[in-house]
C-alpha cells in the first residue's frame, strides 16, 4: 500500500536544471532588460547590445544540441525562459520565442546534418532567425500563398512578398515558405532558407504597432532571389508539413509569452494595492480589491497549468495539438483580462506610461492574433473533440 498522505509533485514542479534556467532568465529580465523597457518601447527597437547579451547568455539556442554550440536543453526549458522574459517585456519575449520555438525547432526537426551544421551553430551563437509564412492574402488560410519558387538548375528563384514577419530587422537567416506549383495547392509549398544579403532580397516596411513595439514586424520583398537547392528545409513540396507542425509547437511558446504578461500584470497589481493608501489604509485591505486579486491569481494559475501541460506532453512525444490550442487560446484571454484588471486597480496611474501596466495591456492583444487567431484555436479544439 502507498501512503495516502504522500505528496504528489505538481505540474509546476521543476527539475534542478529547469529551476536554474528559470532563475537565470528571471534575474536577466529584472536586472538587464527592465531598465531598457520604456526606452525600447518608445523607440520601437530592440537594444543591439541586449541582442548580443541574449546570445552570450545562451537564450537563443536553449534546445539546440551542444554539438551545434547550443545549450542542449529542452523545449520546456525554452518555455520557462520565454515566460520569465515576457514577465518584464513581451517584445523581448517574442524575440527569443520565435528563435527557439519556431526557427530552431524547424531546423531540429527537418534539417539534414549538413544544414544543421551550417545554420544551427550560427542560430545558437550569433545570428537571429525569422519565420516567414504570412502574406497579404494568407493569414488564417495559411497556405493560400502567392510567393513563388521556380526551379532553375541547381537553384530556385523566389518572387513575392511576406508580411508580419517577426524579427525581420534583426534576422540574418529567414525560413521562407513558397509554392513551387500553385496548382498543387498546399502540396506545392516548400521551405527555403534565405540569407540576408542574397541579391534581390530586401526588408521593406516596418509596422508601427499597438503593442510589442520593440519587436520588429516587417514586410519582406523577393525579386528573383536565387536560393541554392541545398538551402531547402525538408522535402520539396512538403513545406506545409514543416510549417504547420512547427506552428503547433510555437503556439505553446506564445502561451508562455502570455502567462508572462499575466504574471507581470498580477505582480504589479499586487504590489501597488499594498502600497496605495485610500481612506486611511492600503486598498488591498478592502474586500472588493482582495477578491479581484484572488481572481487574478486563480486565472493565472489555470493558464500556467495549461501551458506547462502542453509543453510537457509535447516533450514526452505525445500528441499535443489540442493542448497547444487550448493553452494559446486561454493564456491570451487571461493576459488581456489580467492586464486590464491591473489598470483598473492602478486607477489613473494605470493609464500612464510611468507605470508598467498600460504596456502589459497593449502587449497582450497580439496573443489573440498571431500564430493562429483565437477563433482558429477554437476551431482546432472543436474538430478534435468532435472527432473523438
Q: Which three cell numbers stand for residue 350?
A: 494605470
**pLDDT for residue 388:** 74
Alpha-carbon distances, residue 272 vs 37, 104, 243, 283, 355 (angstroms): 19, 39, 43, 9, 10
- CA distance linking residue 25 with residue 48, whole number of Å: 18
pLDDT confidence of residue 335:
98
**Claim to verify: residue 249 and residue 380 sit in the same structural domain:** yes
Task: Say if residues 252 and 362 touch (Cβ distance below 8 Å).
Answer: no
Domain boundary among 128, 162, 192: 128
36-40 long-range contacts (CB < 8 A, ≥24 apart) are 36/89, 37/88, 37/89, 37/356, 37/359, 38/353, 40/89, 40/91, 40/92, 40/213, 40/214
Model pLDDT, residue 10: 76
**Whether residue 366 is found in the same domain as residue 255:** yes
Q: Which of 113, 128, 143 is the last residue of a domain?
A: 128
Cβ atoms of residues 322 and 380 within 8 Å: yes
222 and 294 part of one domain:
no
Task: Indicate whether 54 belongs to any domain.
Answer: yes
Same domain, 255 and 360: yes
Cell 493609464 belongs to residue: 351
Same domain, 226 and 246: no
Domain that holds residue 263: 241-386
Contact (CB, 8 A) for 45 and 341: no
CATH code, domain with 275: 1.20.140.10
What pLDDT score was predicted for residue 378?
98
CATH of the domain at 60: 1.10.540.10
Looking at the domain assignment, is residue 352 inside a domain? yes
Number of H helices, E strands in the chain: 12, 10
CB under 8 Å to 210, separation ≥6 — which residues? 362, 365, 366
Of 82, 103, 228, the closest CA to residue 166 belongs to 103
Give the residue among 32, 25, 45 at the shortest CA–CA distance from 212. 45
Q: What is the pLDDT of residue 43?
A: 98
- Please indicate, yes or no, if residue 2 is contained in any of the structural domains: no
What is the structure's pLDDT at 153? Answer: 97
Q: Is 277 left (phi over 0), alpha (psi -120 to 50) or beta?
A: beta
| Dihedral angle sign, alpha carbons of residues 88, 97, 336, 137 | positive
Domain end call among 237, 272, 302: 237
Most distant CA atoms of the chain, gap in Å: 79
pTM of the model: 0.96
CATH code of residue 144: 2.40.110.10
Q: In this structure, is residue 9 part of a structural domain?
A: no
Looking at residue 7, its pLDDT comes to 55
pLDDT at 15: 95
**Distance separating alpha carbons of residues 20 and 136, to the nearest angstrom:** 42
Q: What is the per-residue pLDDT for 12?
A: 83
Residues 82 and 194 in one domain: no
Same domain, 86 and 203: no
Considering the domain architecture, whether residues 356 and 251 belong to the same structural domain is answered as: yes
3-class state of residue 253 by DSSP: helix
Whether 8 maps to a domain, the answer reads: no
Averaged in consecutive runs of 10 residues, what is the pLDDT profile of the chain (388 residues)?
55 93 98 98 98 98 98 98 98 98 98 97 98 92 91 98 98 98 92 98 97 98 98 96 95 98 98 98 98 98 98 96 98 98 98 97 98 97 94
300 shares its domain with 353: yes
pLDDT of residue 143: 80
- Nearest Cα residue to 164 out of 102, 215, 238: 215
Residue 266 sits in the same domain as residue 153 = no
From first CA to last CA, the distance across the chain in angstroms is: 35
* Residues 246, 358 within the same domain: yes
User: What total of structural domains would you count in the chain?
Assistant: 3
Query: Which of 218, 224, 308, 295 has its CA nearest to residue 260?
Result: 308
Residues 138 and 124 in one domain: no
Catalytic positions: 371
Question: 136 lies in a domain?
Answer: yes
Amino acid at each position: 500500500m502507498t501512503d495516502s498522505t504522500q505528496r504528489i509533485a505538481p505540474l509546476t514542479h521543476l527539475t534542478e536544471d529547469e529551476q536554474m534556467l528559470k532563475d537565470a532568465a528571471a534575474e536577466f529580465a529584472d536586472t538587464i532588460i527592465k531598465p531598457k523597457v520604456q526606452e525600447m518601447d518608445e523607440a520601437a527597437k530592440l537594444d543591439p547590445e541586449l541582442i548580443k547579451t541574449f546570445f552570450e547568455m545562451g537564450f537563443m539556442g536553449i534546445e539546440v544540441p551542444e554539438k551545434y554550440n547550443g545549450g542542449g536543453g529542452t523545449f520546456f526549458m525554452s518555455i520557462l525562459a520565454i515566460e520569465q522574459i515576457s514577465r518584464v517585456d513581451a517584445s523581448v519575449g517574442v524575440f527569443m520565442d520565435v528563435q527557439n520555438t519556431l526557427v530552431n525547432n524547424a531546423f531540429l526537426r527537418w534539417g539534414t546534418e549538413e544544414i544543421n551544421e551550417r545554420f544551427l551553430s550560427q542560430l545558437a551563437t550569433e545570428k537571429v532567425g525569422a519565420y516567414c509564412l504570412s502574406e497579404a492574402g494568407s493569414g488564417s488560410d495559411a497556405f493560400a500563398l502567392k510567393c513563388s519558387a521556380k526551379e532553375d538548375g541547381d537553384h530556385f528563384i523566389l518572387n513575392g512578398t511576406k508580411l508580419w514577419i517577426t524579427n525581420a530587422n534583426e534576422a540574418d537567416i529567414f525560413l521562407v515558405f513558397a509554392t513551387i506549383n500553385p496548382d498543387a495547392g498546399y502540396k506545392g509549398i516548400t521551405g527555403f532558407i534565405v540569407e540576408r544579403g542574397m541579391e534581390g532580397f530586401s526588408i521593406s516596411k516596418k509596422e508601427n504597432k499597438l503593442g510589442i513595439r520593440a519587436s520588429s514586424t516587417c514586410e519582406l520583398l523577393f525579386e528573383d532571389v536565387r536560393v541554392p537547392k541545398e538551402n531547402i528545409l525538408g522535402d520539396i513540396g512538403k513545406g506545409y508539413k514543416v510549417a504547420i507542425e512547427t506552428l503547433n509547437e510555437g503556439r505553446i511558446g506564445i502561451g508562455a509569452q502570455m502567462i508572462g504578461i499575466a504574471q507581470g500584470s498580477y505582480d504589479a497589481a499586487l504590489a501597488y494595492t499594498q502600497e496605495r493608501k485610500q481612506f486611511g489604509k492600503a486598498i488591498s485591505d478592502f474586500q472588493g480589491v482582495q477578491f479581484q486579486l484572488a481572481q487574478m491569481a486563480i486565472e493565472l494559475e489555470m493558464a500556467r497549468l495549461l501551458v506547462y501541460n502542453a509543453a510537457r506532453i509535447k516533450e514526452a512525444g505525445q500528441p499535443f495539438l489540442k493542448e497547444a490550442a487550448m493553452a494559446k487560446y486561454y493564456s491570451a484571454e487571461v493576459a488581456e483580462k489580467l492586464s486590464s484588471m491591473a489598470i483598473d486597480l492602478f486607477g489613473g496611474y494605470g493609464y500612464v506610461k510611468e507605470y508598467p501596466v498600460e504596456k502589459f495591456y497593449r502587449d497582450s492583444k497580439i496573443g489573440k492574433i498571431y500564430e493562429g487567431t483565437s477563433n482558429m484555436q477554437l476551431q482546432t479544439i472543436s474538430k478534435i473533440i468532435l472527432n473523438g
